[in-house]
Chains A and B, each alone.
Chain A
Amino acid sequence: MGATASHLGKDLLSEYQELTFLTKQEILLAHKRFTELLSREDKNLPDPRAPTEAILTLPELKSNPFRERIVRVFSTSESRDGLTFEDFLDLLSAFSDSATLEIKSHYAFRIFDFDDDGTLDENDLEKLVNCLTGETDETRLTPDEMKQLISNILEESDIDKDGTVNLSEFQHVISRSPDFVSSFKIVL
């Protein structure tokens, strides 16, 4: 049932259309780009998995500071490494133009949740801010600024005051910023 490297069947294509937010053309383009990432011997496997390193070479992900998190979140393998074609479609669907705010915010939360524990705690927030401002010394915030910023964020978003931001609190913030849908977008 997996996507063989050669081409997509018509049934499979329409099924993918049912299950993702992508149009036919986008799925075909995604398939083309995905096949280019596979090594020659992988292409003959029934359900090939493109390694993380190959996926990170995509120009759409190459310069994204969250690229490793994105691959991890969408990977279905045991070691959370590498994407199958269907994982890849899931990724593109969540990042597509027509995906709902709900699904986008869900995946955004999981991408920002660096330690995968289901809440954004202070360490997650610090890593997130560092990703946003860049890792070099000159672009990092000073420790004082960082502390102030994190306490401000928790003050604003942590409604139940448990010291972390959980999914619903996160979605509450996201639902009030309309620009999110247009910025949480990766188009091939």
Chain B
Amino acid sequence: MNSQLQRQGSATAVQGTGYTSDQGSPRLRRVTSSRSDQNGPQFNWRPASAAQEDAGQEAAVPPKDLRALPMPMALKRAISQVQQMQVPVLSSFQSWKRSKAKSLSRARKSIGGFLHYITLWRRSLNKIGGNFGDGVQSYFLFLRFLVVLNFLSSMLIIGFVLIPSIVFRSVASDSVNMTDNGTAECRQYDHKPDPLVRYFSYFLDLLSGTGFMEYTYLFYGYYRNTMVAESDFSYNIPLAYLFTAVFYFAFCLICITARAGTAVRVAVATGGGATGSYSRIVFTGWDFGCLSDRATKLKQKNLHYQLQVDLEEERIKNEAASLTLRRKVLLYSSRILLSLVAFGLIIAAFYGIYQATTFSQRKVKETGVLGLFYEYLPSIVITVGNFVVPVLCDQIALLERYNPSITVIVALLRSVFLRMVSLGVLLFTLWSQITCFEGVSEECALCHYNHKSYPCWETRVGQEMYKLTLFDLLITLAMLVLVEFPRRMVVDNSSNKLIQFVGRQEFLVPVNVLGLVYGQTVVWTGALFCPLLPLINTLKFVIVFYAKKITLFSNCRPAAKTFRSTKSKVFFLLVLLFGWSLALVALIYSIAEIHPSMSCGPFHSLVSMWAIVPDSFYSLSLTTQGFLYFIGSQRFSIPLFLFFSVVMCYFIALASVYGKSVDLLKAQLKLEARDKQFLVKQIEELSRTLGVAK
């Protein structure tokens, strides 16, 4: 606030001098005279001498952002010319600071220009926003964020794991330090594909990641525990593998929080907005980005509908306040009953997934198309469940008679829960098969995991996630070709009343976002076992972007309900964070708890994946070890903890002080308004009595 005032002040000061010094320019004079009657910024046309006195003090203030002044170009130019003339007044330090600021802004501008070129899909996004509103645009922005995130993280993995693996595979041999805890039986792993296969089974292998795909850089099993140690250079593939996975998770968390931070700040700072809803619709409702007549008409219809409903609702709300007790009881009991039904549906879906996974893992030995079907059974059941249950839940939500905004949230929360936890059930089933429930059965007693069914279990988990990712993409494309296009054709070419009533499909933002979050969670879960999954996912999301864009423009009608993008952004990221934490649990469990397979992979000689960290720790030099011990010790951690506590206390105190002053100012504002009203009333009364007296 303060700096703004200062800026305003300096603007007026400079304005004064600018006007006098530039009086020769006829263009300028014309423009200012034609402008002065506007309700634009009110300038204080002080005499030039006073302004010049100010200039000395103002010089300390850095040049303000001319772009933010609501004035025509000619005036802004005049101000900037005056600014340039003021420069000699500055001391050398200030001029240095100013020139530095200038070159910095120039650098920023050139970076901005560069970003302008590389920003992905800028024009497409503009077009989408213009035709379908910013709710739909927010989905595509989210998709773009995920594409960039996946691309960067796949670069990370390629740079630190894949390229070193390829390079060192030819240079160095495995560092064979097999311990005795694994028997020969555990180390059996037959990954050689059958040389005499029919050609279509290549296609099947491509879809399920088996056969020729299995023993490649795609999956965990192909990586070796290579260690390269020269005199001044050493690279440890297992360590790099582990740390890259951990850093990948941290990187994703940082990206999500950074993005959520801005969204939350906007949502919190504006208070979510319970008050002033009519003014808000009227003053900010118009979307100036509308590009076509159709979009404009639609937006107008939306706004009309919104205003009418709000006015209607206000009337109804007053009536609803007087609902009888009996009807209230009836309503609440029906709500409880229906949410139990919805919960039952979700549980049934989980049970189905559990059964399907167990069944498909038992039928691993099947080959051909039937084998493929069994391979894909869990993915199919998950997808079917995710299609059917949310539709039923939506119907149930309609019966529950919540008000519209709550209905959307309830339906959304149910489908988030279903999507994420169904993935969790799949993982749980896989894990319990691999470890035979803590290794009590004889199959697991030998190698600490089920080595008969899963000679290289990490690859199997990787394949499972690979299949889920691929299946998700195939479903999206199949829906596009088999459902969405035919539906549009039928709707466009038929005059049947019923079909016209059903109409073209709407683009439902929440459902589509959930699909993305689900895909991303699968990738996070599988990234440890299938290091190239982020790269595959980047490609997948790029394809999804174009597929969704095509279906949006050719098959969809704009949604009847508007979708506020600000709050939903936070919600999307929260759901994404939920998926991230689910994947994190899987990651920690598989790194710390399960015995890595003894027949394959970079960790095959270790008790757990994490064991590589202590091992390599002890191979460090003594000074480094001492230093790391010191960091881990209480002598270091307690002062650090205290320091952070103090900093946190400071910020909490600061926040509470700000909160208090905001409350105070609000109260003051209200009082001022009341004062004003009181004075106006006084004036009215006074003038009335004066009029009477007259």
Contact = CB atoms under 8 A, between A and B. Distances in A.
A66 B289 CA distance: 12
B122 to A, nearest CB: 9
Contacts of A148: 311
A176 B288 contact: no
Contacts of A89: 73
Given A139-B301, A160-B673, A63 B282 contact: no
Contacts of A161: 673, 676-677, 680
B203 to A, nearest CB: 45
A149 B311 contact: yes
B276 interface: yes
A123 interface: no
Interface string A165-188: 101001001111111101111110
Interface string B60-91: 00000011111011101100100000000000
Interface residues of B, number: 67
Nearest to B69: A103
A17 B109 contact: yes
B285 A132 contact: yes
A132 B282 contact: yes
Nearest to A79: B34
A23 B39 contact: no
B494 interface: no
A36 interface: no
Contact of A186 (B109, B276, B277, B288): B288
Contact of A176 (B67, B113, B280, B677): B280
Contact of A19 (B66, B70, B126, B276): B66
A76 B113 contact: no
Nearest to B296: A63
Given A17-B109, A133-B300, A174 B284 contact: yes
Contacts of B76: 19
Nearest to B265: A178
Nearest to B263: A178
A177 B284 contact: yes
Contacts of A64: 288, 290, 296
A147 B478 CA distance: 51
A186 B126 CA distance: 9
Contact of A65 (B282, B296, B308): B296
Interface residues of A, number: 80
B133 to A, nearest CB: 9
A63 B67 contact: no
A134 B27 CA distance: 40
**Majority secondary structure of chain A interface residues (helix, strand, loop or mixed):** helix
Nearest to A108: B283
B307 interface: yes
B112 interface: yes
* Max chain B Cβ within 10 angstroms of own Cβ: one of A87, A128, A177: A177
Given A59-B291, A133-B300, A20 B282 contact: no
B271 interface: yes
A79 B273 CA distance: 40
A145 B67 contact: no
A176 B134 contact: no
B283 A112 contact: yes
B442 interface: no
Interface in B106-153: 109, 112-113, 116-117, 126, 134
Interface string A56-98: 0001101111100000000011100000001101100111000
A182 B569 CA distance: 13
Contacts of A110: 38-40
Contacts of A93: 67
A95 B134 CA distance: 16
B307 A187 contact: no
Nearest to A173: B279
Given A103-B70, A141-B307, A183 B286 contact: yes
Given A108-B283, A156-B275, A178 B566 contact: yes
Given A132-B282, A133-B304, A180-B283, 17 more contacts: A18-B66, A63-B290, A63-B293, A100-B68, A108-B283, A129-B307, A132-B303, A139-B301, A149-B307, A153-B282, A156-B276, A156-B279, A159-B673, A176-B275, A177-B283, A179-B565, A186-B289
21 contacts: A23-B113, A26-B116, A64-B290, A87-B72, A87-B73, A108-B283, A132-B282, A132-B300, A133-B307, A139-B301, A153-B282, A157-B276, A157-B283, A161-B680, A167-B39, A173-B283, A176-B275, A176-B280, A179-B566, A183-B286, A184-B284
